[in-house]
Amino acid sequence: MSSSISHVLISLLLFVLLHEPTLAIKQSYIVYLGSHSFGPNPSSFDFELATNSHYDILASYVGSTEKAKEAIFYSYNRYINGFAAILDEEEAAQLSKHPNVVSVFLNKKYELHTTRSWGFLGLERGGEFSKDSLWKKSLGKDIIIGNLDTGVWPESKSFSDEGFGLIPKKWRGICQVTKGNPDNFHCNRKLIGARYFFKGFLANPYRAKNVSLHSARDSEGHGSHTLSTAGGNFVANASVFGNGNGTASGGSPKARVAAYKVCWDGCYDADILAGFEAAISDGVDVLSVSLGSGGLAQEYSQNSISIGSFHAVANNIIVVASGGNSGPVPSTVSNLEPWTLTVAASTIDRDFTSYVILGNKKILKGASLSELELPPHKLYPLISAADVKFDHVSAEDALFCNHGALDPHKAKGKILVCLRGDSNRVDKGVEASRVGAIGMILANDKGSGGEIIDDAHVLPASHVSFKDGDLIFKYVNNTKSPVAYITRVKTQLGVKASPSIAAFSSRGPNRLDPSILKPDITAPGVNIIAAYSEAISPTENSYDKRRTPFITMSGTSMSCPHVAGLVGLLKSIHPDWSPAAIKSAIMTTATTKNNIGGHVLDSSQEEATPNAYGAGHVRPNLAADPGLVYDLNITDYLNFLCGRGYNSSQLKLFYGRSYTCPKSFNLIDFNYPAITVPDIKIGQPLNVTRTVTNVGSPSKYRVLIQAPAELLVSVNPRRLNFKKKGEKREFKVTLTLKKGTTYKTDYVFGKLVWNDGKHQVGTPIAIKYPH
């Protein structure tokens, strides 16, 4: 080919490339329009009109109604106003300028809050649900608990309807099954409803391709675990491979339950919103939401959980959400809305213990749920996993016991010491077993501290703390022929210095709005026994053929449904209480003491703070009779949004009717059951106002102040006199940071307690020191 012809062809090719129209990248978006302007009893005609209005709005940007119908894959037309659609970036940007649009945001992926993804149910032991308590009269009867999660295993005994009567008339939901019901899914008088939502998942072009859709059946175990923790029926002789044997039950064992499967390979905004809308429409009383954004601080109008929970609370549904598993790093807590009840995770007073016995006769306590045990009366060679690496593999990879890093010739017949992190805890044991190790010791990294977790390992194994792991590594590295033994697992009850805050539990302060304390509360979230899916093995690996009806899991995913179950009980006993009143009752009666009378610790054995546990560890019996509550309603939440910078036009859409922001509103005066001040000047008094409502008998309260040395706290008035139930009283708290004090931490903490001799109404105080 001649040079001139080549130049012509190249010029033509460049011309085509330069003038070829760029194809706009299509992605899935949520277009949020706020609330509907329906009356109290909307009809199917109203819903149809709402959907048509969505088509009309989008048609003006995509060219026709037909194209709008093709683009929209969800129309939220009942309690939430908006739609999910496939759009390009320009279309999304133009839509955001529409006068009826509150926000437009990408259909993001959320995560489940269980540590597995990378005992007694209710509240573990400890007598919290005592036989003579108010709970015996209730057990959550007539309450409907909904769960946004991975679905449910309906055959589990936790969802047996034995002893249940007719389904409540207030229930408006369905049991959704595919035509022909190929997987034999069913509901009953206990599990009264199930739905599944996957269109948001399908809209992600990078999704997993081998996921089974069209069923609310739980193929992961997470949804069954969380739902049974919140509202599972009584199940006698429940255990995990014979460990922890006893009667299992959810926090509200007589509640009806409903599953909303919104998570597949992750949980997407569009499906989460669809789940919220269905749950509101179906008539649930409580929603348990064990998922979140993984520590990302997203504005409320850009977050499906924020939007869905706002509309749920507006319809008198209490929403309980997990705080996340990104701890102990500060400012990682998620689900930051003031209208949700956000839960941290703490340990319980029951361990599944497996001891490590070293050749130097040191005995170290570990945790495990391995079914296997080493032959007794013998010590076995002990080696660091870093020393069994292939020559071409880094010592770090081998130390984490990552797949393909370990040399079978060096590992065979030995107990390997693997370091926690980088890969799944159980997968490390799987790899150790694959290369011929006879056992595994899993040692914590420094960040995990003293938090040890029992897992159903495939070989004899024990999970030890960072401190004990350090001792083991020193023994291995300084001994010519190190040996060890791992004892069989035993259930240990009455563990002292419980609860403590889990290392993984996400910490505050609140990155989105530091004037709102988050998390709100802590509850059991470590090594929790609950129902499991028999579609999957305990290790979640296909070659593991074991199946178990109950399993332990850890995470704020597990602590969240504990509190949801408690909320169900409170709602059953006090049906007239608002969501905020129930939240307040749980927070103001919480404790910051452990079972030996000391302060609750974190995994590093330091005293934990409200940024880790919120108001403290939940105490169900006291929450039933709190004395006073900090109440809030939708108007208060709208004022809060005004303080966040939302204008009246946005709030009209948000609320579905006209709303005028108050001329002056200070976020520190928002009537939250905690006082958090992120901006204070040293030496200058700051006034904070709160209002409490009497929900008990006539009584006289006096204030008790627990203040750190750096902080002056005064309250006016110091006494509150209530003559009848429902009466409200306002008080003012004056806070002053002392001059000339050296502050070792970013925050100082205190507590204000109203006491009438019977009730102690606690309010945590958190003050950020100005740097």
For residue 677, give the DSSP letter: E
Residue pair 342/518 in contact by the 8 Å Cβ criterion:
yes
Read off the amino acid at residue 131. Answer: K
- From the list 350, 352, 347, 348, the residue with the least C-alpha distance to 368 is 352
Choice among 149, 349, 397, 455 that is catalytic:
149
CA 603 remoteness from chain centre:
19
> Which of 390, 353, 606, 379 shows the shortest CA–CA distance to 475?
379
Distance CA 115, CA 92 (A): 35
3-state secondary structure of 756: coil
**Rounded CA gap, 488 and 460, in Å?**
8
Q: Locate tokens 């408006």: which residue?
A: 172
Please state the length of the chain: 771
% helix / strand / coil in the chain, to the nearest 5? 25, 25, 45
Q: What is d(CA 142, CA 571) in angstroms, rounded to the nearest whole number? A: 10
Q: Does the annotation count 149 as an active-site position? A: yes
Bridge partners (DSSP) listed for residue 672: none
Beta pairing partners, 521: 343
Contacts 24+ apart (CB under 8 A), 537-543: 538/369, 538/426, 538/456, 539/426, 539/427, 539/430, 539/456, 539/457, 539/458, 540/116, 540/220, 540/221, 540/426, 541/426, 541/427, 541/430
Strands (E), 636-698: 675-677, 686-694
Q: Which residues pair with 688 in a beta bridge?
A: 733
Within 8 A by CB and 6+ apart from 65, the residues are 55, 56, 59
- In the set 36, 54, 113, 222, the catalytic residue is 222
Can you tell me whether residue 643 is helix, strand or coil?
helix
What would the two tokens of residue 141 be? 């009867």
Return the structure tokens found at 628: 């006073």
Query: Is 222 a catalytic site residue?
Result: yes
Per-residue 3-state assignment (H helix, E strand, C coil) for 498-555: CCEECCCCCCCCCCCCCCCCCCCEEEECCCEEEECCCCCCCCCCCCCCCCCCEEEECC
According to DSSP, residue 616 is labeled -
**DSSP symbol at 117:** G
What amino acid occupies position 384?
S
What is the distance between the alpha carbons of residues 370 and 455, in angstroms, rounded to a whole number? 7
Catalytic residue among 224, 384, 557, 603: 557
Q: Could you tell me the CA-to-CA distances from 15 to 9, 21, 376, 428, 581 in Å, in that order?
A: 10, 12, 79, 56, 68
Q: Is-contact 203 529, C-beta < 8 A?
A: no
Q: Count other Cβ atoms within 10 Å, centred on residue 488.
A: 15
Q: What is the DSSP letter of 69?
A: H
Distance CA 720, CA 699 (A): 8
Q: What tokens were used for 25?
A: 């990248």
Alpha carbon distance, N-terminus to C-terminus of the chain: 73
Distances in Å between the Cα of 36 and the Cα atoms of 49, 77, 654, 655, 754 are 11, 8, 9, 8, 41
Instruction: Please report, for residues 299, 579, 586, 640, 759, the alpha-carbon distance to residue 634 in angstroms, rounded to integers and kept in the order given.
Output: 18, 10, 20, 10, 28
Residues 6+ apart with CB under 8 A from 274: 74, 76, 84, 197, 199, 200, 262
Catalytic residue positions, numbered: 149, 222, 557
